[in-house]
Structure 1
Amino acid sequence: MTHVEINGDAPSVEALHQAAAWGFGHYTSMQVRGRAVAGLDLHLARLREASAELFPDDPAPPDGMVIELIGHALRAERDASVRVTILPGMDVMVSVSAPAVETPRPPLRVRTVRFGRDLPHLKHRGTLAQTHLAMEARRAGFDDVLFLGPGDVISEGSVWNVVFWDGDRVVWPQAPMLAGITMQVLRRTLTSLDVPQITRPISLPETAGLPAAAATNSHFPDQAIQTIDEIDFPLYGHLTTILRKGWNAVPWQAIV
């Protein structure tokens, strides 16, 4: 079911070549279920804000137009994976593919690496380094990679946000990173459920005193983390239960 549209039309070979060859631009990725999206307003805000920063001389595509282009690209599909990319010239490319399948996943074993993405607050197309580091970690026997900044402060995973539990509260790292939409949705919903939360810098040595850790993104909002390097998180099930409760309470926003 994979197909691509640019500005609502089937793209020419020339347009696809230009989109593929020029790595400048930004995007957001979402899961559509029943023609609705968790955190659609946050996806639209991400696109607006990144467009204003990367393309300051051009007006960002209006939210209504972006929603219309997503709906058009979905055709008759009700469930799908959707990626919206803003290209130079404010062209809007919408890619539609099969929905991510939620299947039970074993707890992750991740390796830390000192690394920071360029413009880490943006979801941009420059992903070579983070992908390479994730692949290196897998070749070394780990499942993925977790990035550390100055002072060994934890920031983010390769394509996910990390979250901890300290025995009383959900703890989100404070560092230069991409604020994932799933993370933002969970924080908003957990607040509405009166689940205690805190955001603060977390150094790698500090995690040895935390009983639980998890990874979260649009494919898996509550993926358990078993170990970070040699540090074990034995009570990850408690945290993933909290995250799943929050995710199940998320209101999904319709795409007309």
Structure 2
Amino acid sequence: MRHIELNGQAPSVEALSAIAVTNYGHYTSMQVRDGRVRGMALHLARLDDANEKFFGDRGDVDDELRLRSWIRHALGDRQDASVRVAYTDEGVLISVSDPVEEPVEPIRVRTEVYERPWPEQKHAATMGLRYAYRTAREAGYDDALFLAPDGLVLEGTAWNVAFWDGGQVVLPVAPMLKGVTMVLLQVAMSMTGIPWTMRQVRREELPDLLAAAAINSHSPGLRVAAIDDIVFDEHEKLTEALHTAWDTVPWDDI
């Protein structure tokens, strides 16, 4: 069951209507377990950066303390949940729903030339990615992977992509959202000695890579079985590396 609060209170119909009609703002999504979150500081930094971009305001310590209290209030007695924190013209909309367990079934994705506007931000302009997801599903795939017009690999509809080149994890360098999970994995891989690199990856290189995985708040490494007609069947080392690193990431109090 979903629970929604606006600025720490039950929202009015008028406020929700204004948010729905205007559809302007940005957000972050997180998984809460035992009342804690991985990468809380990164979620707050994401919101601060987007506030400056879209609202011209970076906030301050008091804003952070107030936001944390609003998240705790919206959670209530729930210890495990999915939480979405959105900044809108009407204020901070916090949505709490059932926790999402890590998916286990591999996915097949197709590539699509599409670049999100303001790609470094997690914002409300989501029709393009939702359309790509829908049309990919209609074509028999599970999701879509975005490419730039020159074939540069960008990101999935709501996930970052990682590859295995036979010796290390490869994370694409491109105009894209630097997901909280991806950033946490970078730190964790460095701390645990797992080899990884960031570089540009292009569509024509994909057949030479051995494995691919989707990274987001639901999973640190969901196996991508195929991209278009390219099948990846050596996924063990990639998924093991990502999950091993993820298991070392600490949980933060809200």
Aligned amino acid, residue 81 of structure 1: S
Aligned amino acid, residue 135 of structure 2: E
Is the 2:103–2:219 contact (alpha carbons within 8 Å) kept by the matching residues of 1?
no
- Equivalent in the alignment of 1:194: 193
Equivalences, count = 252
Does residue 11 in structure 1 map to residue 11 in structure 2? yes
Aligned amino acid, residue 190 of structure 1: M
Does residue 185 in structure 1 map to residue 191 in structure 2? no
Taking the TM superposition and a 5 Å limit, the aligned residue runs for 1:1-256 are 1-56=1-56, 58-60=57-59, 62-88=63-89, 91-105=91-105, 107-255=106-254
Residue ranges of structure 1 left out of the alignment (5+ in a row): none
Q: CA deviation at 1:103?
A: 4.5
Q: Percent identity?
A: 45
SS in 2 for 1:150: coil
What TM-score do you get using the length of structure 1 for normalisation?
0.95
SS in 1 for 2:50: helix
CA distance in 1, matches of 2:171, 2:208: 15
Q: Deviations over 1:172-199 (max 9, x none)?
A: 0011111111111111111111111111
Is the 2:85–2:94 contact (alpha carbons within 8 Å) kept by the matching residues of 1?
yes
Is the 2:49–2:58 contact (alpha carbons within 8 Å) kept by the matching residues of 1?
no
CA distance in 2, matches of 1:198, 1:248: 20
CA distance in 1, matches of 2:168, 2:237: 11
Q: CA deviation at 1:150?
A: 3.1
CA distance in 2, matches of 1:64, 1:150: 43
CA distance in 1, matches of 2:111, 2:143: 9
Aligned amino acid, residue 45 of structure 1: A
> After the TM superposition, which parts of structure 1 deviate over 6 Å for at least 4 consecutive aligned residues?
none
Residue ranges of structure 2 left out of the alignment (5+ in a row): none
Go from structure 1 to structure 2 and tell me whether the alpha carbon gap of 1:59 and 1:226 turns closer, same or farther (over 3 Å shift): closer
Aligned amino acid, residue 251 of structure 1: P
Is the 1:110–1:142 contact (alpha carbons within 8 Å) kept by the matching residues of 2?
yes
Question: What CA RMSD, in Å, does the superposition of the two structures yield over aligned residues?
Answer: 1.2
Aligned amino acid, residue 183 of structure 1: M
